[in-house]
C-alpha cells in the first residue's frame, strides 16, 4: 500500500523539485580601468593622515575611531573567515542524506513469571540503522549555500 502511494505521488513531487524561489545568484561584474587618470602620489597621503576628520560629524568620527581601535587583530579576522567557512559547510551538509547507526548488547535475567521454573540468563543484542534526508523541493537549502 505504501509503495503504491509513493508511486502515485512521484509524478507530483519530481517536477516540483526544480522550482526555486528567487533569482539565481550572479556575481557582479567588476571592470577595472586600463589606466588611472592621475599618477600615484608620493609622500604623505590621506591614508597616512587621520582621514576620518574629513567627516564633520563627531558621532561618526567617534565610531570610526572605535572601529579602527577594535579591528586591528588579524587573528580575529582569520577566525571570522573560518567561522564563515564552517557555517557554509554545515549548510551544505544539510543537502545530503544523513546516516545513523546504533548498537547495544545486554545480558538479561528474566523473572519467573509463568511459574515454569528458572529460565536463566539470556543475551539481548540490538542493531539499528537510520537514514534521514530533507527533500529540498523549493530550493531553501540550495539558496542558503549561495
For residue 63, being part of any structural domain is answered with: yes
Per-residue pLDDT at 36 = 76
Q: What is the pLDDT of residues 77-99, one digit of tens each?
A: 888 889 999 988 888 888 888 89
Side-chain-side CA neighbours of 51 within 13 Å: the count stands at 6
For residue 136, being part of any structural domain is answered with: yes
Residues 105 and 84 occupy one common structural domain: no
Q: What is the pLDDT of residues 8-57, one digit of tens each?
A: 666 665 555 556 566 777 888 888 778 777 776 666 665 667 777 788 88
Tell me what the pLDDT averaged over the chain comes to.
78
Q: pLDDT class for 130, splitting at 50, 70, 90? A: very high
Residues 88 and 101 occupy one common structural domain: no
The separation between the first and the last C-alpha atoms of the chain, rounded to the nearest angstrom, is: 39
Side-chain-side CA neighbours of 55 within 13 Å: the count stands at 11
Residue 95 DSSP label: T
Q: What is d(CA 107, CA 115) in angstroms, rounded to the nearest whole number? A: 21
Please list, in sequence order, all residues whose beta carbon lies within 8 angstroms of the beta carbon of residue 108, skipping any fewer than 6 positions away. Answer: 121, 122, 123, 124
Is 20 within 8 Å of 146 (Cβ atoms)? Answer: no
Higher pLDDT, 141 or 45: 141
For residue 44, being part of any structural domain is answered with: no
Per-residue pLDDT at 126 = 92
**Integer angstrom CA distances of residue 92 from 62, 89, 146:** 40, 5, 10
For residue 25, being part of any structural domain is answered with: no
Per-residue pLDDT at 99 = 92
For residue 11, being part of any structural domain is answered with: no
Higher pLDDT, 56 or 110: 56
Domain that holds residue 60: 49-93
Residues 70 and 87 occupy one common structural domain: yes
Per-residue pLDDT at 28 = 83
Residue listed under C-alpha cell 587618470? 37
Q: Which residues is 99 bridged to in the sheet?
A: 131
Q: What is d(CA 127, CA 122) in angstroms, rounded to the nearest whole number? A: 17
Residues 73 and 106 occupy one common structural domain: no
Nearest to 136 by CA among 6, 26, 25, 20: 20
Q: How many domains does the structure of the chain reveal?
A: 2
Amino acid at each position: 500500500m505504501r509503495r503504491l502511494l509513493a508511486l502515485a505521488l512521484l509524478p507530483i513531487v519530481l517536477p516540483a523539485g526544480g522550482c526555486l524561489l528567487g533569482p539565481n545568484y550572479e556575481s557582479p561584474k567588476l571592470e577595472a580601468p586600463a589606466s588611472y587618470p592621475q599618477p600615484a602620489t608620493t609622500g604623505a597621503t590621506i591614508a597616512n593622515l587621520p582621514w576620518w576628520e574629513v567627516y564633520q560629524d563627531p558621532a561618526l568620527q567617534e565610531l570610526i575611531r572605535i572601529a579602527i581601535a577594535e579591528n586591528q587583530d588579524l587573528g580575529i579576522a582569520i577566525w571570522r573567515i573560518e567561522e564563515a567557512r564552517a557555517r557554509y559547510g554545515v549548510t551544505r551538509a544539510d543537502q545530503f542524506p544523513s546516516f545513523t547507526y546504533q548498537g547495544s548488547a545486554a545480558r538479561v535475567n528474566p523473572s519467573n513469571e509463568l511459574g515454569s521454573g528458572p529460565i536463566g540468563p539470556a543475551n539481548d543484542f540490538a542493531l539499528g540503522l537510520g537514514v534521514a534526508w530533507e527533500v529540498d523541493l523549493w530550493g531553501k537549502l540550495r539558496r542558503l549555500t549561495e
